[in-house]
């Protein structure tokens, strides 16, 4: 390998979950800009993302997927291999966030946030590993959160004190970090890299209307989806070929 190289993802295929908007859309576009063909996997169609990927001259396949369902994830992987020929990269980005305290965390809220983030990431990894092992190559990037490291991030909605990310979300994102490290230890010998990105507050539908107190962040602004996508490109590319089981903080220096 050269001592310095750019991310060249030409000929590679990446699955991005939760790709219809926000951070997932930015990841799909940033990977496509480096040459990857993209498979989008969100609950519904990812039309805007598909259009942007195709504008970049890359192939794009949409497989609407519910990552909380094993059969849906199996179908996604099957379709991606059948129609795109291979899977080099998986970005586990789909997530939901309830901003409630312990007392208000119902079974439904717990199941939704934990299933989407933690179970969904597990199902994706389990489904794609046999293919990656056979090819002896794979880059898996799991989108965790600063909430999973520090136990929820404070934010405020206008006129309310409510806004801190809830216990189900924080626990699920912490679980993703442990899962990342577990799988990384097992898969490294098969040429499979597993890392996580832990974003701070990022300007998307998930955070709109909430104040993250950006004046106290060393880089005093809210994150943009592209800030996260650039970290993802690094971990999805050959630029990070001696990096596995790691967590890359992208939070403007907040922690």
Ligand X SMILES: NC(=O)c1ccc[n+]([C@@H]2O[C@H](COP(=O)([O-])OP(=O)(O)OC[C@H]3O[C@@H](n4cnc5c(N)ncnc54)[C@H](O)[C@@H]3O)[C@@H](O)[C@H]2O)c1
Tell me the catalytic residues: 169
CA angle 217/208/37 to nearest 5° reads 90
- Contact between 138 and ligand X by CB under 6 A: the answer reads no
> Quick one: which of 16, 20, 140, 233 contacts ligand X (CB under 6 A)?
20
Nearer CB in complex with ligand X: 117/180: 117
Per-residue binding string, ligand X, 87-126, x by CB under 6 A, is: ------xxxxx------------------xx--x------
Q: Kindly state the smallest distance separating residue 86's Cβ from ligand X, in Å.
A: 22
- Contact between 206 and ligand X by CB under 6 A: the answer reads yes
Contacts to ligand X from residues 32-51, by CB under 6 A:
42-43
- Contact between 195 and ligand X by CB under 6 A: the answer reads no
> Quick one: which of 49, 180, 204, 240 contacts ligand X (CB under 6 A)?
204
- Contact between 252 and ligand X by CB under 6 A: the answer reads no
Query: Which of 17-25, 100-108, 181-189, 230-238 is the region at the interface with ligand X (rule: CB under 6 A)?
Result: 17-25
- Contact between 17 and ligand X by CB under 6 A: the answer reads yes
Cβ atoms within 10 A of the Cβ of 200, count? 24
Pairing state of beta strands 13-17 and 37-41? parallel
Residues 203 and 223: beta-carbon distance below 8 Å: yes
Q: Kindly state the smallest distance separating residue 116's Cβ from ligand X, in Å.
A: 5
Smallest CA-to-CA distance from 255 within 144, 178, 142 is with 144
> Quick one: which of 82, 205, 215, 218 contacts ligand X (CB under 6 A)?
205
Nearer CB in complex with ligand X: 20/183: 20
> Quick one: which of 7, 15, 38, 67 contacts ligand X (CB under 6 A)?
67
The footprint of ligand X (CB under 6 A) covers 17-18, 20-24, 42-43, 65-68, 93-97, 116-117, 120, 143, 145, 199, 201-202, 204-207
């Amino acid at each position: 390998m050269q001592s310095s190289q750019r991310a060249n993802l030409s000929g590679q295929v990446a699955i991005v979950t939760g790709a219809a908007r926000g951070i997932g859309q930015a990841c799909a576009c940033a990977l496509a800009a480096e040459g990857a063909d993209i498979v989008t996997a969100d609950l519904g169609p990812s039309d805007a993302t598909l259009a942007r990927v195709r504008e970049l001259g890359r192939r794009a396949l949409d497989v609407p997927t519910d990552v909380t369902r094993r059969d849906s994830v199996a179908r996604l992987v099957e379709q991606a291999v059948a129609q795109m020929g291979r899977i080099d990269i998986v970005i586990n980005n789909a997530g939901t966030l309830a901003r409630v305290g312990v007392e208000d965390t119902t079974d439904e809220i717990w199941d939704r946030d934990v299933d989407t983030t933690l179970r969904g990431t597990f199902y994706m990894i389990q489904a794609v590993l046999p293919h990656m092992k056979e090819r002896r190559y794979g880059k898996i990037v799991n989108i965790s959160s600063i909430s999973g490291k520090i136990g929820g991030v404070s934010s405020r909605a206008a006129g309310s004190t409510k806004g801190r990310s809830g216990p189900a979300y924080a626990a699920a994102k912490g679980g993703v970090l442990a899962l990342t490290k577990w799988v990384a230890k097992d898969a490294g010998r098969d040429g499979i890299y597993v890392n996580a990105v832990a974003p701070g507050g990022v300007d998307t539908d998930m955070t709109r209307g909430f104040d993250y107190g950006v004046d106290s962040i060393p880089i005093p602004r809210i994150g943009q989806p592209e800030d996260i996508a650039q970290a993802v490109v690094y971990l999805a590319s050959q630029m990070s070929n001696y990096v596995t089981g790691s967590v890359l903080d992208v939070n403007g220096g907040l922690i």
